[in-house]
Amino acid sequence: MLADCQSFYASVEKAAHPEYRDKPLIVAGDPTRRSGIVLAACPIAKQYGITTAETLGEALGKCPDVVVIRPHMQTYIDVSLMITEIFESFTDLVEPFSIDEQFLDVTGSLSYFGSPEEIARRIQVKVMMYTGVWIRVGISSTKILAKMATDIWAKKNETGIFTLPKSDVETLLWPQPINKMFGVGSRMTAHFQRMGLATIGDLGSLPLPEFKRKLRARMGRNSDIQAELFWQTANGIDQSPVKPSSHDVQKAIGHQMTLPRDYSKPQEIDVILLELSEEVCRRSRAKGYMGSVVAAGAQGTDFDRPTGFFHQMAVPDPTNITMEVFTAAKTLFYTHWDRLPVRRLGVTLSKLVPDDQYQLTLFGNREKERKLERVTDAIRHKFGTTSILRASSLLKAAQARDRSVKIGGHYK
C-alpha cells in the first residue's frame, strides 16, 4: 500500500481549528507580510483554483477570503509520527516516503485484519479519529504500482481507496497519459511526446532494447539506466521491498541555507559558512559520526537560471570538529567562488565513520576541542540551540537565531 495524507498541512490546521472546517484554508509563507508560497491548500481552497507552490498573492487574488495560516512544521512532524504509529498497529513493515506518504506491506496482516481493502478502510477510520486527516490508499503488489494507484485513482474517488492488480496494468495503467507515470515531470513528458510516446502504454509496450535506443538517440548514450527505470515503471516492475530501515543508513550529513538577501562580502559569507559548519558538526556528533570529506557549495541569485558550484575535498583525518570543517569549507568556497552575489550556501560532511575510534595526532589538541564541543552540545540540548552562540552569530549577516525557530526554513 501507499498511504497518502490529503492536503496534509492544511488538514492538520483544520483539525486544530474546527471553526475553519467549512472555509477555504491554505498554509503559506508569512500571512502578516502577504509573502511566500502556498505549501498546502484544503479541498475547498482548491475549488477556487488555488494550487500548491503558487505565491500567496496569486492565491489571494483567486480567493480574497481564504484563511491563511503560517506553517507549524514541528506540529506536522509530530502528527506524521503519530500516523506512522497507527500504521504500525496494522503491520511492522512501514516505510516513510515523505512527511505525508508512507508505504505499508500488509501481506502478513491479512489473516488478522481482513482483505487489503478492509485494512485500508480501518486505517482511514483510525487516522481520521486520532488526527482529523483523511488518508488515500493505493493497493497493489509492488510499491511503484501502489504509488500510481494512489496518485491516479485513489486521490480522485470518494472512497479514497483503489486497487491496481498487476494483471490490470495493460487495461488500466497503459491508457493513462505519459505524464501520469511516476517519475515523469514536465521536461521528460516533452521528451517522450517528441518521441511519439503519448501514453504509459506507448512506452511500456516497446521492447526494452528499442526504448533504450530511442532514449539514447534523444538524450545521449548514458541514458540506458534511466531508460530501464522508466520501462520497468511503465510495466509495474519493482523488486524493492517495504523496508522500515531503508532511510537509516547515513551516507552524508549536510545543511543548506537560502539567505534572506544577496551576500557578496567575504566577511558576511564567512559567518554563514561557520554557522553551517557548526550545524553539520553538531548533527554529526549527535549521530556518532565523523567524516573525511568536506563539501561546500553555493548558488547564485537567479533561481530561474541557476549558477554556482558544489565541490569537495578530503581532510587529513576524519573529523566532526567545527573549526576543521569550517576551514575546509572556506578553502573550497574561495577557490571556486566567482565573486558574484550568492543566495544559497551549503556545507556537507561525507565518507562517514563512527566517532568512537580515531587517530591521535601529534600536533594541536584535538581532544580538548572535542570536549569543548561536547559541552556546548550538552548546553544547547538542555537549554535550546541559541543558549550559547559564537560572537559572529550576533552580527547582522548571521542567521542562527532566526533559523533556531524554524524547521526546513519554516516556523516550528
* Residues forming a β-bridge with 26: 41, 68
Q: How high is the pLDDT of residue 104?
A: 98
304 belongs to an annotated ligand binding site:
no
CA 104 – CA 95 distance, rounded (Å): 6
- The reported pLDDT for the residue numbered 409 is 62
Are 293 and 251 within 8 A, CB to CB?
no
C-alpha–C-alpha distance, residues 392 and 52, integer Å: 37
Within a domain: 157:
no
What average pLDDT does the chain have? 92
pLDDT of residue 246: 60
Q: At what angle do helices 266-287 and 366-383 cross, to 10 degrees?
A: 80
List, in order, residues 6 or more apart from 50 with CB less than 8 Å away.
Answer: 24, 26, 38, 41, 59, 62, 63, 66
More confident residue, 140 or 359: 140
Q: How many domains does the chain have?
A: 3
Q: 386 and 311 in one domain?
A: yes
Q: Would you state the torsion angle of the CA atoms of residues 190, 195, 196, 200, taken in this order, to the nearest 10 degrees?
A: -70
Q: Examine the domain organization and report whether 215 and 295 are in the same domain.
A: no
Quick one: average pLDDT of 216-220? 88
CA–CA distance, 372 with 394 (Å, rounded to integer): 20
More confident of the two residues 313 and 308: 313
Q: Span 21-34, mean pLDDT? A: 82
Whether the pLDDT of residue 35 is over 80: the answer is no
More confident residue, 86 or 307: 86
Q: How far apart are CA 345 and CA 310, in angstroms?
A: 10
Does 225 lie in the same domain as 257?
no
> 43 with 15: CB under 8 angstroms?
no
Checking if the pLDDT of 231 tops 90, the result is yes
CA distance 123 to 84: 11
Q: Determine phi and psi for 213, rounding to 5 degrees.
A: -65, -45
| pLDDT tens per residue across span 355-375 | 887 777 767 788 889 899 999
Q: For residue 338, give the CATH number of its domain.
A: 3.30.1490.100
Whether 161 maps to a domain, the answer reads no
The amino acid at residue 340 is L
Distance, in Å, from the CA atom of 6 to the CA atom of 407, rounded to the nearest integer, reads 21
4 annotated as a binding-site residue: yes
Instruction: Judge if 324 and 265 occupy the same domain.
Output: yes
Low-confidence winner among 16-25, 83-92, 262-271, 293-302 (lowest mean pLDDT) = 293-302
Q: Check whether 412 has a pLDDT greater than 70.
A: no
Identify the top-confidence range among 72-86, 237-251, 395-409: 72-86
**Who wins on pLDDT, 358 or 54?**
54
159-198: pLDDT as tens digits: 999 999 999 999 999 999 999 999 999 999 999 999 999 9
Where a domain ends, among 187, 202, 234?
234
Q: Give the pLDDT of residue 385.
A: 87
> What percent of the chain is modeled with pLDDT above 70?
95
Whole-number pLDDT of residue 408: 64
Residues 378 and 317 in one domain: yes
User: Which of the residue ranges 133-137, 305-309, 377-381, 405-409 would you say has the lowest mean pLDDT?
Assistant: 405-409
Does 145 fall in a domain? no
**pLDDT, position 249:** 66
Q: Are strands 35-41 and 25-30 parallel, antiparallel or unpaired?
A: antiparallel
Q: What is the DSSP string of 302-360?
A: -SSS--EEEEEEEEEEEE--HHHHHHHHHHHHHHH--SS-EEEEEEEEEEEEETTS---
Answer with the one of 234, 265, 287 that is the final residue of a domain.
Answer: 234
Question: What is the predicted pLDDT for the residue at 220?
Answer: 83
State which residues form the domain around 45.
Answer: 7-73
Please check whether residues 187 and 302 belong to one and the same domain. no
pLDDT band for 32, please (50, 70, 90 cuts): low
Same domain for 297 and 392? yes
Q: What is the pLDDT of residue 228?
A: 95
| pLDDT band of 33, cuts 50, 70, 90 | low
Residue 55 DSSP code: B
Residue with cell 492488480: 165
What pLDDT is attached to residue 251? 85
User: What does the pLDDT average to over 327-331?
Assistant: 97
The catalytic residue positions are 101
31: pLDDT confidence band, cut at 50, 70 and 90? Answer: low
Which of the listed residues 45, 73, 101 is the one where a domain comes to its end? 73
| pLDDT for residue 247 is more than 90 | no
In this structure, are 185 and 68 located in the same domain?
no
Which residues have a Cβ under 8 Å from the Cβ of 310 and sit 6 or more positions away?
Answer: 295, 296, 297, 346
Q: Residue for cell digits 512506452?
A: 203
For residue 304, pLDDT over 70 is answered with no
